Structures are given as structure tokens and as C-alpha cells.
Amino acid sequence: MSGIDGSVVLLGQGNANDGRFGVRASRLAELVNFGIPVPATIALSIEAVRMIASGHAPDTEKILDPFGPETLVSVRSSPGGIDWGGAPTFHAVGLNCAIHEELCNAHDPEAASKLYFDFIKSYAVRVARLDPEEFEALTASCPDVFGRLARAKSLYAKCTGESFPQDMGVQLTHVLRSMVRAWEGPTAHLLRSAHGAPENAGLGLLVQKTVVATKSGEGDNGFGAVSGADPESGSRGLFGNFCPGCISVARVEMPESSIKKLSPRSSSDLEKHLDLLRRRKQDELEIDFAVANGKVWVLDARPIDCSVQAAIQIAVDLAESGLISKESSLGRLEPDSIARILHPQVDRSRAYNVIATGISASPGAASGAVAFSSQAAAEYAARNESCILVRIETGPEDIKGMHFASGVLTGRGGITSHAAVVARGLGVPCVAGASDIQFDARMQALISPGGKIFREGDSISIDGTRGEVLEGAVPLEKPGLSDAFRIFLDWADESRDMEVRANADTPDEVQVANSFKADGIGLCRTEHMFFDEARLTVMREMIFADSDSERRATLKQLLPMQRSDFIELFLNMQGRPVCIRLFDPPLHEFLPRERDEIKELADALDLPDSRIIARMDELREFNPMLGMRGVRLGITVPEIYEMQARAIFEALVEARRRGHPGTPEIMIPLVSANREVELVKSSVDAVAHTVRKETGETFDYKIGVIVETPRAAIRAGDLAANSSFLSFGTNDLTQMTYGISRDDSQRFMATYVARGVYPEDPFATLDKEGVGELLLLAAKRGREANPDLVLSICGEHGGDAATIEFCRKAGFNYVSCSPFRVPIARLAAAQSAIRNRSDFRR
């Protein structure tokens, strides 16, 4: 190793921040250059460490030369990339019986003996590879630290056949080799490749002088870790710990101890260092420090590990103090991380027990009693008690229960299943497809893979962010939206050049969308308006109508309900765009499923049970999602779309009378042929004509298509001739392009992703190669046929950052996503615009 030029440098004297020595060396070299006091530190280059790995002996004389005799050192990893790990720091290398005795005489004998014991233990386990449990047992069985130290020395000698090495050079050689060995091990390899490290990722090493106070000196002595901002809130100040003591090793099982124990002088020195770092690094850092006889030394520095809330506050503060641009501050957060502050989360600092896992279908966490039916959920809500609605899968009849529940758990279903879509819309946490948990309908029980049984009323928690089901009611952390959050997102709006709309169907969802400043409604799924109990019955009457006239009569009852929904929607959106999708699901979704529901319906409609069952049989389809739904229903039973069109136009007239003009967008679902658009368009135009005549009002509206079938994408040129807009419904489009049921994909998706069949779940992030190609093809053909064509996406992918980037690059006008993802989409759209702007200033 000694033959390599510049492979071992003293920070401050050689150039250690050119990447050859790893990231920690670069960072510490910068601190030295800034004039911050760092204890003498030798950096070993990645090349030098490779030589140690290949069997060369490290030149310990050369490494130790700058430290002088009887110095203790720490050995730290300096990996080639941030987040690539590396073995933990080795402290107090060089400690032997003679130095231990000196430390006992000069300082606190108990602290010195604990330090020696800890060093022998680390060395025994990590270098000599002795059984860690035997040393743990010593800690447990021997409270007296002096006795423990003596027993550790004997144990070491007994297990290795040699006494503990006393020579600093020998200790250092073996410590360096053990750090290299750990880096080469398969676990370390696996961990760093998960963080994107290449196969030949390199490790540098740092050997740093340990700070030891002198006996006679005055002032603070000890070690700690501090940052210039609160890791929880991001507010500025000195936050961290200080542990008084004479030998400053830093961060070895550092006991909680208040930073207030520091003298004002040391605190002010630390503040100065942190402030300098903040200005020079344009970031809030956390530092490990040591104080000896009142002098503060900085041992290490790293980006502060903080909450999302704090990261936003810090980014805003840095920009407001002029250290970084607004654009740069927006780039400091992963868009998805924002989800964590919009919903309550499991407090991970407390104990919890995961009983099953599923798909993270809607973020946030909730605790409550198990409720196996909507009825039970309603009863819990009436008693003001929180509950988790547990269903094998959900359907329209469960929406009521989902409103009442604090969370939803299903045994089947993926990221775009009914439960997932509705829960995200409501902002209710949901774990879907928890297939390892058994749903025993007969026993009304949930049985965990470990055999634990949960019955109605038993407490469970779900973590929709991680897709976990937890035992009991675990403590949750409340969300909190700060002023900084609002400022941050307002900056995002200044930067973005693409609209972000919300998928919202109910007044509650519209209100959330508004509170998150959505630019409009990109998808109002009108069928969700019929799930209210009173409407469901009328809807069912319509389904059971014997004749067209009977059907028209029931639709007449639904008309005022729809009209009032739309009036509310238009008024709430105050002239901002609203895209209303005509009725989409197959009719049978509105029929009862369970025996007692059939009975109830028969009573309500005054029909025999057999009539209900017969009608259900008539409507039964082998593959309803590919059957009579969407525009197929609209053409076969045209009265439904006619009623909806009338409700939209009458509501529009009323909203305009109340001072809220707007131009509604009417969207046709599940189109596969241009003639479908022509037929619906002429029927809607006719209704508009009638309403204009009846009311004496003029108004505009737009008609467009939700592109959900591959054929619609391919024939986008034809469709665009009759459409003002095409909005890609990528949930169904993904389902139909892959031929994978969006409700059943969870059975194999995890295996498929794990085995690299698909890089990611295509229902979560857009499959750019396949579905994405269809989007690009359709966009091109559509815009060629109609240059004013408005393009957008309204499938669940509309809230995914990578998909947003894709759509922006493809020239889409807007993305639309569930209301709680609107802030995420606003940030992602801004980041995409900034990335692609040439004048971006850091």
C-alpha cells in the first residue's frame, strides 16, 4: 500500500475531496477547508482499501505517524456513495492496559474501564469473530464495570488462546481488515445494491484522532450530536444531545442527555459551526462533536435525518434566507414523501406487532374495532367509536361503510381495486389484498397467518402507507399542515406548467380537492353519487323497471338528485373546470348480494324475492368488466345518459344564475368505436338543445372520451374529430393492455416484480413501454386530427411522479388524481418543469 502515491492523506494537507476517498472523507475535508476544527484525520483512498482487501498489509506506521504516541483513534467507513452503508465506526483503537491505567489515573476510572470493555467487546466480535452473546452475557451478569473488564480480558484470552493485543499497529491492522471484510460481505453487498450501488462499489476509510480532555483543563468535556434545526418540526435552534465525560467517542450508545448541559461558550461555538455549514453547504446538517477542556471539535457531519414536515420547513427557510432558489428548495423532497404528512401515521418509535401484510392501497394509518359489515361500521360511528371495515373485497354497497370507517382492510384487490380507489378518494387508509390473512365469513373472524383470531369488535390497526395490518390499537402520529407546507406548494404552482386536477365525486372530496388547491375536477365518477341509501333504492327500481316508461319514471326521480349534486359541484368549483363522466359500471353492481339484502329490496320494491333473483340472473355476466357497462349501457339504455345530461345542463343554468359560470366537460366511458361517440354526442346535443329552449339560457359544454380500451387509443384520430378532449383512464387501459384483472393482480404481482418480470406494478406507475406507447400514439393521432385537443390522464397513475413526468413530456394539459394526492402531483409537476428548464438556478 505504501507504494501508492497519494493513497493516504491527512485531511487539510492532501486533496481528499475528489471522490477517491469516499463521501465521508470529502465531507470532512470540506469542513477542514471551511476552517471548522476537526481532529486530525487520515483518509485511506478506495484504491488503498482495495489493496488491503486483496491481502496487502496496511502501512500502519505511515497512518499513525501524524497522531504521535499513545493516541487513541476511531476508524470510520467512507463509502463511495451516500447511503451505501459501511461497517459501524470502531472507537478507541489503540486502547491497551497501559493507556487504560493512565486514563483511570487522569480521569474517571469507571468511564475509562467502560471504554476499554466496549473496545475489547467490539474487537472480539468484529475482529476475532467471537460469540457476541458471551460478551452480552458479561454485560448482563456483571454490573461492576471493573469486574466486567477483567472477565472480558480472560474470555478473550480463553477463546483465542492469546491475550488481548496491546500493540496499536496490530490492533489497527486488524480493525482495518475487519472493516474491509464487512464491506465485502454478502449482506453489505445486498444492502448497498438496494441503494443503487454498482457491483464494484468502493470503500474509503478514515482514521481519526480521539479527543481526550487533559486532567487539569477547564471547560466542558464530553461528546454529542447536534443540528441547527429541530428534526421533527424544522424550526431553527440548537437541537441534540450532549453527554459529559472525558473521553469523547461520540455516538456509541449515546445516552439521552440534554444539550442544555453545555456551557454557553460551547453552545455558541457549535451554533457558529452549524451556521457556517448551513451557509457553505446550503443545507441544514447534523454534526457529531466532542468537547475537550472547552474546545469544540467536529468529528463528522451529515445531512440531518428529519421528518417530512421538518424537511419542508428547512427547504423554505433556506430559500427565504436567500441561500438557495425556490426551484432548488422544491427539489429537496421526494413528491411521494408528502403523503406522510397528509394522513396520520403509525408512531414507529413504539412497539407494534405486524400480523399480516397486503397492498399499500391508500396511505395513512388507523386503529379501531373490526367491523365486518357496513351496518356494523355505521353502528360504531353512531357510538363515536373508531372501526376498521374488514371485507374480503368491497363493492358499491360498502361505500356507506367506508364513509363510517377509519380504515379499510380487504383480503382481495390491488392498487386500482374498488376498495383502493374509493378509499383514496375518501382519504381513508386502506390495506388491500391482504391474502395471507384468512377471512372466515361463517365464524365472522379474521385469522392471522400466525393463527391469531380477531372477531368483530377486536382492536386492530392498519398502516396503508406500508401495507401492514397490526395487532391492537397502536399509537398514531397526527398530521399537521404548516404554513411552510402551503408556501412550499405555492412555489410549486409558480414553477409548474401543467394543471393538476382532482378525481372527486362527493362534496367531501371536492372540499378536500379545493383545500389542496386543485385546478379543477378531472374526473367525477357519477355512479358514486348513487350509492347513498335513498338513491340506491331508486336506482334499483330503475334496474327493475319493466318498461321504458317505467324506467323513465324512476329516472325522473333520480334527476333532481343528480341536478342538486351537480349544482353543488359547480358552485364549489366556482367556475373552475369540471369533467363529469357519464355512468360507467355494469348495472348488476347496484344489486344486492346477500340474502337479507335481497329480502330488504323485495320489501322496498314490493316484489317477490324470486323476481329479484330472476332479474339478478338476467343481469349476470361472465365477465362484467368487459360486458355491458360504460358507453355500451349508455347506448343500450339511452335514458340513463339523457337524464344525466339534463341534470348537468339544468345544474349549469342554476349555477350560472347564482353567479358561477363554467363550461362543463362531459366524458364518455369505455369507448372502443367512434360511432359510440357520435351516438352519445347527438343525444347529449339534443338534450342541451331542449334545456336551452326550456330555460331560455345559452351555455357551452364540451364532450370528450376517457380512453380506457386499447382500441380507443389506436383510433384516437377518429375519436378526436368528435371530441374536445381525451383523458386516459389508465386503470382500465392497463388492465386491458396487459389482460390483467385490476382486482386480482395482487395474487401474483409481488412475485412478478420480485422476479423481474415487470420492473414495477403497472397499476401503480405507468408502464411506459406498453401502455405509455399507447398514450403517445393516441396523443399524436388525436392532436393531428384535432390540434386543439386537450390531453390528460385520470387513472390512478395521475398522482404518480414518474407518470406525471411522462405526461408532461408528452405535452398533456393536465393530470387528475385522488384529492389527497393533489399536493404530491403539484410538487411532481413543478419538479418536472424545473428539471426541463434551462435557466434553472440552484
- From the list ligand PEP, Mg ion, none, pick the one residue 64 interacts with, judged by a Cβ distance below 5 to 8 Å according to partner type: none
Judged by beta carbon, residue 409 or residue 771, the one nearer Mg ion is 771
Judged by beta carbon, residue 732 or residue 800, the one nearer Mg ion is 732
How close are the terminal C-alpha atoms of the chain, in Å? 40
Judged by beta carbon, residue 248 or residue 730, the one nearer ligand PEP is 730
Judged by beta carbon, residue 266 or residue 394, the one nearer Mg ion is 394
On the CB side of 558, CA atoms within 13 Å amount to 32
Provide the 8-state DSSP code for 89. P
Distance CA 823, CA 804 (A): 13
Which parts of 76-135 interact with ligand PEP (CB under 6 A)?
none
Q: Is residue 433 involved in binding ligand PEP (CB under 6 A)?
A: no
Interface pattern 555-594 for ligand PEP (x via CB under 6 A): -----------------------------x----------
Q: Determine the Cα angle at 603 with ends 597 and 604, to 5°.
A: 90
Q: Is residue 732 involved in binding Mg ion (CB under 5 A)?
A: yes
Are 396 and 417 in contact, with CB atoms under 8 Å apart? no
Label the pairing between strands 459-463 and 468-471.
antiparallel
Of 484, 13, 30, 15, residue with least CA distance to 282: 30
Are 526 and 834 in contact, with CB atoms under 8 Å apart? no
- From the list ligand PEP, Mg ion, none, pick the one residue 465 interacts with, judged by a Cβ distance below 5 to 8 Å according to partner type: none
Q: Which residues contact 398 (CB under 8 A, 6 or more apart)?
A: 374, 389, 391, 418, 419
Judged by beta carbon, residue 242 or residue 728, the one nearer Mg ion is 728
Q: Which of 418, 528, 588, 797 is catalytic?
A: 418
Strand order in the sheet with 438-440: 438-440, 445-447, 453-455
Distinct helix (H) and strand (E) counts, the chain: 32, 32
CB of 736 to Mg ion, least distance (A): 10
Residue 794 annotated among the catalytic residues of the structure: yes
What does the block give as the cell for 675? 360511432
- From the list Mg ion, ligand PEP, none, pick the one residue 309 interacts with, judged by a Cβ distance below 5 to 8 Å according to partner type: none
Of the candidate spans 394-402, 549-557, 616-624, 730-738, the one that interacts with Mg ion by CB under 5 A turns out to be 730-738
- From the list Mg ion, ligand PEP, none, pick the one residue 387 interacts with, judged by a Cβ distance below 5 to 8 Å according to partner type: none
Q: Which of 794, 797, 807, 817 is catalytic?
A: 794
- From the list Mg ion, ligand PEP, none, pick the one residue 795 interacts with, judged by a Cβ distance below 5 to 8 Å according to partner type: ligand PEP
Interface pattern 44-83 for Mg ion (x via CB under 5 A): ----------------------------------------
Q: Is residue 818 involved in binding ligand PEP (CB under 6 A)?
A: no
Q: Is residue 743 involved in binding Mg ion (CB under 5 A)?
A: no
Q: Is residue 637 involved in binding ligand PEP (CB under 6 A)?
A: no
What value does the CA radius of gyration of the chain take, rounded to a whole number of Å? 33
Which parts of 698-757 interact with ligand PEP (CB under 6 A)?
708, 729-732
- From the list ligand PEP, Mg ion, none, pick the one residue 525 interacts with, judged by a Cβ distance below 5 to 8 Å according to partner type: ligand PEP
Judged by beta carbon, residue 58 or residue 795, the one nearer ligand PEP is 795
The residue count for binding ligand PEP (CB under 6 A) is 11
Distance CA 488, CA 486 (A): 5
- From the list Mg ion, ligand PEP, none, pick the one residue 206 interacts with, judged by a Cβ distance below 5 to 8 Å according to partner type: none
Label the pairing between strands 90-93 and 73-79.
antiparallel
Which parts of 701-720 interact with Mg ion (CB under 5 A)?
708
Are 763 and 414 in contact, with CB atoms under 8 Å apart? yes
Q: Which residues contact 709 (CB under 8 A, 6 or more apart)?
A: 670, 671, 672, 732, 733, 736
Distance CA 738, CA 732 (A): 10
CB of 523 to ligand PEP, least distance (A): 6
Judged by beta carbon, residue 425 or residue 464, the one nearer ligand PEP is 425
CB of 528 to ligand PEP, least distance (A): 9
Amino acid, res. 449: P
Amino acid, res. 8: V
Provide the 8-state DSSP code for 479. P
Judged by beta carbon, residue 210 or residue 410, the one nearer ligand PEP is 410
CB of 793 to ligand PEP, least distance (A): 8
What does the block give as the cell for 422? 374509493
Interface pattern 785-814 for ligand PEP (x via CB under 6 A): ---------xx-------------------
CB of 795 to ligand PEP, least distance (A): 3
Q: Is residue 577 involved in binding Mg ion (CB under 5 A)?
A: no
What does the block give as the cell for 745? 393482480
CB atoms within 10 A of CB 284: 25
Judged by beta carbon, residue 729 or residue 782, the one nearer ligand PEP is 729
DSSP string, 746-798: HHHHHHHHHTTSSSS-TTTS--TTTHHHHHHHHHHHHHHH-TT-EEEE-SGGG
Q: Is residue 586 involved in binding Mg ion (CB under 5 A)?
A: no
Q: Is residue 284 involved in binding Mg ion (CB under 5 A)?
A: no
Out of 525, 563, 588, 615, the only residue in the binding site for ligand PEP (CB under 6 A) is 525
Provide the 8-state DSSP code for 293. T
Judged by beta carbon, residue 364 or residue 795, the one nearer ligand PEP is 795
Residue-wise burial string across 142-168, b where 16 or more C-beta atoms lie within 10 A, e elsewhere? beebeebbebbbebbeeeeeeebbeeb
Out of 58, 94, 413, 729, the only residue in the binding site for Mg ion (CB under 5 A) is 729
Residue nearest to Mg ion (CB): 732
CB of 502 to ligand PEP, least distance (A): 12
CB of 663 to ligand PEP, least distance (A): 21
Rounded to 10 degrees, the C-alpha dihedral 130/133/136/137 comes to -110
Judged by beta carbon, residue 277 or residue 707, the one nearer ligand PEP is 707
DSSP string, 509-535: HHHHHHHTT-SSEEEEEGGGGG-SHHH
Judged by beta carbon, residue 414 or residue 795, the one nearer ligand PEP is 795
- From the list Mg ion, ligand PEP, none, pick the one residue 730 interacts with, judged by a Cβ distance below 5 to 8 Å according to partner type: ligand PEP
Q: Which residues contact 140 (CB under 8 A, 6 or more apart)?
A: none
Are 704 and 729 in contact, with CB atoms under 8 Å apart? no
Q: Which residues contact 15 (CB under 8 A, 6 or more apart)?
A: 6, 9, 29
Distance CA 176, CA 775 (A): 55
CB of 794 to ligand PEP, least distance (A): 5
Distance CA 719, CA 456 (A): 51
- From the list ligand PEP, Mg ion, none, pick the one residue 580 interacts with, judged by a Cβ distance below 5 to 8 Å according to partner type: none
> Is the dihedral angle over the CA atoms 683, 685, 686, 687 positive or is it negative?
positive
- From the list Mg ion, ligand PEP, none, pick the one residue 421 interacts with, judged by a Cβ distance below 5 to 8 Å according to partner type: ligand PEP
CB of 51 to ligand PEP, least distance (A): 57
CB of 318 to Mg ion, least distance (A): 42
CB of 455 to ligand PEP, least distance (A): 33
CB of 307 to ligand PEP, least distance (A): 33
- From the list ligand PEP, Mg ion, none, pick the one residue 794 interacts with, judged by a Cβ distance below 5 to 8 Å according to partner type: ligand PEP
Judged by beta carbon, residue 47 or residue 760, the one nearer ligand PEP is 760
Binding site for ligand PEP (CB under 6 A): 421, 523, 525, 584, 708, 729-732, 794-795
Catalytic residues: 418, 794
Residues that bind Mg ion (CB under 5 A): 708, 729, 732
